[in-house]
Structures are given as structure tokens and as C-alpha cells.
């Protein structure tokens, strides 16, 4: 006799499956909705897998299933891809700008797949911007716990010395919130502007510019030169270069916050 407990069930909950990926994460990577949005679709009984309605987000999918949303096939995610892009000054890191300004994404080659940025660079900042077609990867790379250092070359108007710059290493209070450590090193040079190399592991909107203002420096040029193991190098402004899957895998394994590096 057939076990009634199996009647009407779709894919088994994740505690009963040896491999795969939760349906919400799987469909979020496919660009259907955010994970929370997918959960709402499941609650509304709008998703079916192999002909059966999904009733809980605690399902594993392997990618071989037939998945329908409102009766229409779901286009599954492409393989994860990542690019280095040399963002010029004057582009907004947004898919659309309410002020009608030029955007990074409109400037990309027409044959590029839909991508999102890993973090942002503001309108007047330039340099290395990572782009990916995988939202989950973007979120992972942005997290401070991943441990990747962002490096910038900054030009600022004013006079300073290394002792004053070292104050930033303890963080500064901006809008009532203390920043993380900002490690700044004065570079050789003369004139009314100074060049400074800056390293940090997490950066909010205009954080470097505003932190420098607390020590009487006015930033007039900001160039991101690296993001973790990925470097801008000699890439021309507007240049684009894909990072291989092998390089992505190796970089993630070496990330300070990855499981592979813990305990070493």
C-alpha cells in the first residue's frame, strides 16, 4: 500500500535531500525575485515543481526539475560570471537614475548579460568596479566578514602628516555611527594636494571623503585600485575584462572569512 504521507508532496524538504539548493536561493539567482519575494510567490501557490505546487521554501532543487511560475517555464540562472570594470568619473552606479544622469550599466557593451555591481562607486569616484550576474555572489563579496580589503588612491587638498592620518585607523564618528578602521598612508609628493593610499574592509556612501573632512582634508580625486585579490592594473577607463571561473573559485577559497581559511 502506498504511504499516504507522500501523497501530494513535491520535492522533499532540505533535511531529507543530500544535495541541491533551497528553492528561494535558486530562483533568486535566476533573477525571478529576491529570496523574500520568492517566499511570497510560494505562499501564493504560484510556483510548481514537476507539476506539483510548492508549499514551503524549505525545498531543495538541483536544477533538473521543471519549474513553472503562473504556469510559465522559469528561465534558470546562467553560470556565475564576474567582470572587472574601470568606472570613469561621471557615471552613476545604478540601472536607472531619477536625475537622468548617465549610468554604468548603460555604458556597458550591448552584448553584456544583465549584471549588478558589487558595491558602488559614487558619481565622482573612479576605478575598479566588480560586476556580476549572480546576486548571491555580489552580496557575499560585499560583506565585511568576507574579509576583502578595498584599496584606493586618494588625492586631497590640504596639509597633513602620517600622525594625523593614523587617527582614522580607530574609526571616526559620522552621523552618530562610528566607521570601521580606515588605514591611510601618506605617499611622497609636494604641492597643495597630497596623495594618500587608503585601505578599508567596509565603506559606506562617501565615507572616505567625509572621514577626511574630519582631519581638514578635501578629497578631489578618488580611485579604487583593488577589491580583494582583483586589481585595476593598467585597464583603460571604460575597460571591461571577465574574470575566469577558476580565478573566482581560487579567490573565494583564499578569502580571509571563508571556511577554507578558518583554523589555519
* Active-site amino acid positions: 122
| Beta-ladder partners of 87 | 127
Locate cell 552618530: which residue?
Answer: 176
How many angstroms separate the CA atoms of 29 and 80, rounded? 9
Bridge-based pairing of strands 150-157 and 193-200 is: antiparallel
| CA 46 distance to own-chain centroid | 29
Helix (H) or strand (E) holding 152: strand 150-157
- Alpha-helical regions (H) of 144-235: 162-165, 207-213
Spatial contact of 155 and 219, defined as CB atoms under 8 Å apart: yes
38: left (phi over 0), alpha (psi -120 to 50) or beta: alpha
Amino acid at each position: 500500500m502506498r504511504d499516504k504521507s507522500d501523497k501530494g508532496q513535491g520535492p522533499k524538504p532540505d533535511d531529507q535531500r543530500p544535495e541541491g539548493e533551497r528553492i528561494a536561493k535558486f530562483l533568486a539567482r535566476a533573477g525571478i525575485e529576491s529570496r523574500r519575494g520568492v517566499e511570497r510567490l510560494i505562499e501564493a501557490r504560484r510556483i510548481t515543481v514537476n507539476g506539483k505546487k510548492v508549499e514551503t521554501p524549505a525545498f531543495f532543487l538541483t536544477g533538473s526539475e521543471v519549474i513553472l511560475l503562473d504556469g510559465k517555464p522559469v528561465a534558470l540562472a546562467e553560470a556565475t560570471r564576474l567582470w572587472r570594470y574601470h568606472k570613469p568619473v561621471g557615471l552613476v552606479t545604478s540601472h536607472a537614475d531619477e536625475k537622468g544622469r548617465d549610468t554604468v550599466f548603460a555604458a556597458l557593451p550591448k552584448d553584456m548579460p544583465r549584471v549588478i555591481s558589487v558595491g558602488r562607486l559614487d558619481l565622482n569616484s573612479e576605478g575598479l568596479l566588480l560586476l556580476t550576474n549572480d546576486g548571491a555572489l555580489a552580496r557575499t563579496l560585499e560583506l565585511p566578514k568576507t574579509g576583502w580589503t578595498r584599496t584606493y588612491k586618494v588625492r586631497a587638498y590640504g596639509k597633513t602628516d602620517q600622525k594625523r592620518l593614523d587617527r582614522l585607523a580607530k574609526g571616526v564618528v559620522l552621523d552618530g555611527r562610528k566607521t570601521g578602521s580606515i588605514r591611510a598612508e601618506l605617499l611622497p609628493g609636494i604641492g597643495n594636494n597630497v596623495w594618500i593610499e587608503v585601505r578599508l574592509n567596509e565603506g559606506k556612501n562617501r565615507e572616505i571623503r567625509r572621514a577626511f573632512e574630519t582631519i581638514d582634508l578635501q578629497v578631489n580625486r578618488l580611485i579604487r585600485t583593488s577589491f580583494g585579490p582583483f586589481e585595476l592594473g593598467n585597464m583603460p577607463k571604460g575597460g571591461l575584462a571577465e574574470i575566469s571561473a577558476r580565478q573566482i573559485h581560487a579567490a573565494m577559497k583564499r578569502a580571509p572569512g571563508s571556511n577554507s581559511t578558518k583554523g589555519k
